[in-house]
Structure 1
Amino acid sequence: MMNMDLQQLIQALTNQTRRDLEHSAQRCVTRGGREVLVEDLLLTLLEHHDGLLVRALNDAGIEVAELQATLQPKGEASASRNPVFALALVQWLQQASMVAHLELRRIEVDHGALLLALLCHPLQHAGSAYQVFLSRLDAQRVREFVLSQVPRTDPAPQGESLLERFTHDLTRQALEGRIDPVLCRDAEISQLIDILMRRRKNNPILVGEAGVGKTAVVEGLALRVATAQVPEPLKEVRVLTLDMGLLQAGASIKGEFERRLKGVIDGVNTSVKPVILFIDEAHTLVGAGGQAGASDAANLLKPALARGELRTIAATTWTEYKKYFEKDSALARRFQPVRVSEPSVEEAISILRGLVPVYERSHGVYVRDDAVVAAAQMSARYLAGRQLPDKAVDLLDTACARLRTSRETAPGALQHLYAEQAQGARQLQALNRDRDKGFPVEEQTLLALNLRMEALDSERLDLEQRWLEQQKTTQQVCPRLVAQVISAWTGIPVEQLAREHSEQVLGFADALRLRILGQEQAVQALDRNLRAVSAGLNKADAPVGVFLLVGPSGVGKTETALALGDLLYGGERFVTTLNMSEFQEKHSLSRLIGAPPGYVGFGEGGVLTEAVRQRPYSVVLLDEVEKADPEVLNLFYQIFDKGLANDGEGREIDFRNTLILMTSNLGSERIGKLCAGGRRPDVQTLHEAILPQLRDHFKAALLARMRVVPYYPVTGDVLHDLARLKLERLGQRLGLRSLAFSYTPELVEHMAERCAHDDSGARYIDQWIELHLLPQVVDRLLQAMARGEPVSQVHARLEANGVPTCEFSQ
């Protein structure tokens, strides 16, 4: 008897047979039985008037009604609502499963398998009333009738039918034009052909990260075979993709998976045309189908691969290749690795250009060439964690789909307007109901709501007219639409994406001066570096820049990093800040790059490497870098020099698109002495003054990889400008609450004077605002909200006694 549990038996049934079994269980519940009997299932089968059992009974001259009367269970009913399957019924299902798989060669158990199982095991049902009727059936005649019902689409041998069942013909798809063009993969396809032409070890395995185009390489081979652009021995081959999911589906019976895979191999050997089998995600072979006492798919394939009976192309990722193939040397030596690398941005553009006609036909839109270039460049820059060309293709496809959707459905702004109108109509209806019932309703509220509804209706008509006009124009995918998709995926503002990088760099210095006051030398140093990067004249295998910002506290070093993240990459969230005072121990290095194998936390990634892997186009700020342990700083030698590092899992992390900034207070006292009394020495003098102290702390090799930028203390007019800047930011925060904010020049003078006597620099201005102005605003707003009093104006000034105060008005 096969070792199968009831769940496996039920899963092996056809949909109709499973429904019949459920109906039988319901029949048992209806009569109050404790067990679902063989008789219950037979009665259900007899309800199919054109079913196999009824036809067999009619052919033997047996009255169906007479058998139905005999099958009616006898006995007392019970109150059980949860009957179980009787042992005889379970044994019948097991026998039917054996008949289906071993005799009928069917994947699932149907009525024919059930009937043959009854006839093949008469002793199992001896003594039952229905056995008298079944004994009158001609078992051989029923078997021939059941076998004649087995669907046969091809008179080919059984092995080849399994081959057709569990594979997809890529060559046929190529001939029918159902495969997209494959570009920029000629070298990989040629290498594939070279390996396939070998006499032995002619099984290539494509290894590369997900999304680089491993499957496309095989599709390119199928296209060449279809157009006879291959050597003579390969012109007649069929490239078939093995469907591992379909191969394992329903193979819960012991030995079924092995039978299927053996049938596929036999089908390859007996095929009239030579076959090349493509196994995508080949690492799933290891362990696939393996049960107690059985081999997995990889072990089943090894003999066929060793004898050369099976030509196979496999594909997997580097991680899975190391995990499964390299550990199994017997399996690894049967395959020849073919590296499939991520294409460059230029190659991705060429690939997209080849796919443009396909997507234009599919979506019914026109794709501009500058949109193709934007899709490749923006996906490479902003979609981290994925590979080209897959992410560029997805981006362009989504842009085409969005354009088609906007043509056929109302745009998002119009849908939002519809929702707002519906919400207003419900509110208006509720207020009118209250007024009709005699409840008090403010007429001013009703009037304002009616005016709002009229304004919304006018806006709706305008948007609908613009939408209709837009539908009449040529539907084209442009770079701005691609930027909108990227913005929806990443949250980066569209305006930031739509601007050319060169435009950003040209206006970078002016924008940075508005945020970093009194540090012209830092602005110029960063501007020169970014201009060189934009022109492509920087060192190719290094980060965008490595700067050590040195100076007293509160002069704008950290603010510089935040401003760079905002101006260059679209927001301060693109700044990864690491407080290096937390890395004063040698073992804390694992926090940066991730724990090594065998240690707690392995696989979770490091705070530095994981942040850069997810967002390679970003700013990394190493705050107070002088406080880190020297062993931790050794990690940055290769990062600063080559722009690469390996994390705890052995993955290579690319820092070449990252701007690295470090801050330090080393040399602050010397800078303060040189700048005392309002003096402002040149940058070279400051650099020479602080360099000895930097050399005492940092190794010469590490210091040589940085560009030192000294920061001047904040004094004089710069403090006044900073005070005004901080007050303007407070005004922006109040503006979010619909409050206008103003201040007096005396207040600015007072803030600058107080800040000049504090060692914390510009940070004191923030602290002063939080301590003296903000509490007054908060208290007054809370009081106004509690009393229902409107407040629209806040004016900050200095009292005669030097106390800051805020005045509020409507």
Structure 2
Amino acid sequence: MQIKSLLKEIEQSGDVILFVKEVHHLFDAATSGARSFTYILKHALERGVIQCIFATTENEHRIHMENDMTLKRLFQAVKVLEPSIEETIEILKGLRGTYETHYKLHYTDEALVAAANLSQQYVSDRFLPDKAIDLIDEAGSHVQLCHAKNKKKGNVSIPSVKKHDIQHVVSSWIGVPVSDVSKEEGESLLNLEVMLHKHVIGQNEAISTICRAIRRARVGLRNCRRPIASFMFTGPSGVGKTELANALATNYFGSKDSLIRLDMSEYMDSYNAARLIGAPPGYIGFDEGGQLTESIRKKSHAVLLFDEIEKAHSDVFNLMLQILDDGRLTDGKGQTVDFKSTLIIMTSNLGNSIIEGMIDNKENSSSFDHKKNLVMEELKHHFRPEFLNRLDEIIVFKELTKKEVEEIVNIMLREVCQKLMVKEIHLSLTCRFREHVIQHGYNPSYGARPLRRTIAKFLEDTLAENMLRKEIKEGDSIIVDVNVEGNVVVINQKNVKREEYHFTSFVDSVGNFLADEKRKDVVSGISCNLVGKMLDILGHRKSP
């Protein structure tokens, strides 16, 4: 009745134009009932008593109006295109006075140019000039708040919104720095390898290649029409391919949530491959959008991981060609999704059988370059040349050495120690226990992956049982070792005397294993430079 009353009032007023923004919401709300909004509207328009301008999206126009021949006849469709960056800058200059009056500050020309350029480059799920206007609005609010704090300190000058203020707001939106590289960030980027090596052991070539690509992208020396970089990781299972993608999301993009992972074994047929971009109009699932496109639309600055890419259907590779070449993809709704701020990593197990055969046959004398060539031949046999040629780099991961396996075990054991520290339980582990884990958990064919299961079996399960039996409580100091029979033993410090147990060497909760060195006469196996610390832990410090 409200719509009918409104149209009647417009008819009586005479020279009035009815403008309805996002009119598709009215169509959605009035789908039921004989005298719906559409019925009343058609009746008024056919009598020629009202004039209307309706605004809607291209997709909603196609759903609600193109299929209705009466509405299509009564309305003239006018497509309003997104303005260019140059046109957006002029729009912002026209709005400058309004925002300057509202926030009582000044916008520099440089800030308006940056707002148009950065919003177009980094905000892919919205359109100009709307996103640029929101950007200068939020930047004005940010500067006003900062000025209010400074005003209390005696600064009464009129503040200005500058380029770096626009960059600050964009960075807060996307979680990635977009400002000019500061000295601190430059040092961080130069040391990115060090940060990644704390999570991924032994894969120097892979880490160095990725870090170089990120540094090029950060200073603007990359092809801005394509993703930040695209890599294919191949090599034995369990050597750090997926872990490197996780570490990169955490250390550069800000959090593990910045990793978008797609298991390609779920897209082995053409029907499931279509789920990546969403069903076309008229098909089930059209309203849900694509699994890939919707993920990138929500978080466009991320590490995009295609796990086991060789299992994907051929239709997936047609989509990948668009992403790798143009940095964009059109979804089932006809909307373009921007991939230019993603770092793409694909993993593949192709060629693993060759490397595993060499390991099983003790052909470890084969050079890594020879193995790499064999893997490359396998990739060329499986993937089309135009797909491989669009990748920035194909990286073959190396098998882990004994020393690298020990470092990985150290990291995993340190994680357990840190979990217990939260509960105020101090855990120390002997080197014998570490060797026990390596002996039972490492297999060259499966890499480091079984190690975590082995630690869960020998350490976490044992500790859990002891904690449930109340044999380990908050505040206790625990030592885990392996006895001469090869069984894991848990020693609570409060229940052991020095003469009852001799420790060969162990790791404390910081994760430092102590090898046999000097002063074995003090406490067997503990190096003399740390003996004071270790005796404190064991409660055996002698009086001077």
What's the TM-score, normalizing by structure 1?
Answer: 0.50
The question of 1:260 aligning with 2:9 is answered yes
Correspondence for 2:63 among 297, 302, 323: 323
Name the structure 1 match of 2:269: 585
Instruction: Tell me, in whole angstroms, the C-alpha distance in 1 between the residues paired with 2:245 and 2:219.
Output: 22
Shift in Å, 1:648 = 2.3
- Kept in 1: contact 2:122–2:341 (CA 8 A): no
Higher alpha-carbon Rg: 1
- Kept in 2: contact 1:799–1:805 (CA 8 A): yes
Map 1:173-192 → 2, pairs under 5 A? none
Instruction: Tell me, in whole angstroms, the C-alpha distance in 1 between the residues paired with 2:253 and 2:492.
Output: 39
- Kept in 2: contact 1:577–1:623 (CA 8 A): yes
Q: Unpaired runs of 5+ in structure 1?
A: 1-7, 9-249, 269-275, 409-466
Shift in Å, 1:373 = 8.8
The question of 1:748 aligning with 2:430 is answered no
The question of 1:340 aligning with 2:82 is answered yes
Distance 1:286 1:597, change over 3 A: closer
Correspondence for 1:716 among 393, 402, 408: 402
Map 1:550-629 → 2, pairs under 5 A? 550-629=234-313
Instruction: Tell me, in whole angstroms, the C-alpha distance in 2 between the residues paired with 1:756 and 1:691.
Output: 27
Name the structure 2 match of 1:699: 384
Per-residue Cα deviation, 1:627-650 (whole angstroms, up to 9, x for no partner): 223344333222222222222222
Distance 1:745 1:481, change over 3 A: farther
- Kept in 2: contact 1:758–1:764 (CA 8 A): no
Instruction: Tell me, in whole angstroms, the C-alpha distance in 1 between the residues paired with 2:247 and 2:59.
Output: 38
Per-residue Cα deviation, 1:393-419 (whole angstroms, up to 9, x for no partner): 4466456657877999xxxxxxxxxxx
Distance 1:251 1:647, change over 3 A: closer
Correspondence for 2:445 among 759, 771, 796: 759
Map 1:155-304 → 2, pairs under 5 A? 250-252=2-4, 256-264=5-13, 266-267=14-15, 280-281=21-22, 291=35, 296-297=40-41, 300=44
- Kept in 2: contact 1:548–1:708 (CA 8 A): yes
Instruction: Tell me, in whole angstroms, the C-alpha distance in 1 between the residues paired with 2:277 and 2:168.
Output: 32
Instruction: Tell me, in whole angstroms, the C-alpha distance in 2 between the residues paired with 1:393 and 1:507.
Output: 37
Q: Secondary structure at the match of 2:15?
A: helix
Higher-RCO chain (CA-CA 8 Å, sequence separation at least 6): 2
Q: Percent identity?
A: 30
Distance 1:562 1:783, change over 3 A: same
Name the structure 1 match of 2:536: none
Name the structure 1 match of 2:372: 687
Name the structure 2 match of 1:35: none
Q: Secondary structure at the match of 2:486?
A: coil
Shift in Å, 1:612 = 1.3
- Kept in 2: contact 1:504–1:568 (CA 8 A): no
- Kept in 2: contact 1:399–1:485 (CA 8 A): no
Distance 1:389 1:568, change over 3 A: farther
- Kept in 2: contact 1:378–1:486 (CA 8 A): no
The question of 1:769 aligning with 2:455 is answered yes
Map 1:2-41 → 2, pairs under 5 A? none
The number of aligned residues is: 479
Instruction: Tell me, in whole angstroms, the C-alpha distance in 2 between the residues paired with 1:397 and 1:657.
Output: 24
Aligned residue identity for 2:374: A
The question of 1:472 aligning with 2:153 is answered yes
The question of 1:545 aligning with 2:229 is answered yes
Distance 1:806 1:406, change over 3 A: farther
Structure (1/2) with the larger helix percentage:
1
Instruction: Tell me, in whole angstroms, the C-alpha distance in 2 between the residues paired with 1:631 and 1:705.
Output: 16
Shift in Å, 1:769 = 1.2
Per-residue Cα deviation, 1:399-452 (whole angstroms, up to 9, x for no partner): 6657877999xxxxxxxxxxxxxxxxxxxxxxxxxxxxxxxxxxxxxxxxxxxx
Shift in Å, 1:284 = 7.1
Instruction: Tell me, in whole angstroms, the C-alpha distance in 2 between the residues paired with 1:366 and 1:741.
Output: 59
Instruction: Tell me, in whole angstroms, the C-alpha distance in 2 between the residues paired with 1:261 and 1:523.
Output: 67
Distance 1:286 1:732, change over 3 A: closer
Shift in Å, 1:571 = 1.1
RMSD over equivalenced CA pairs, Å: 4.5
Distance 1:394 1:337, change over 3 A: closer
Shift in Å, 1:614 = 1.3
Shift in Å, 1:556 = 0.5
Map 1:332-371 → 2, pairs under 5 A? 334-341=76-83, 344=85, 358-359=98-99, 361-363=101-103
Q: Secondary structure at the match of 2:238?
A: coil
Name the structure 2 match of 1:653: 337
Q: Unpaired runs of 5+ in structure 2?
A: 495-544
- Kept in 2: contact 1:594–1:605 (CA 8 A): yes
- Kept in 1: contact 2:458–2:488 (CA 8 A): yes
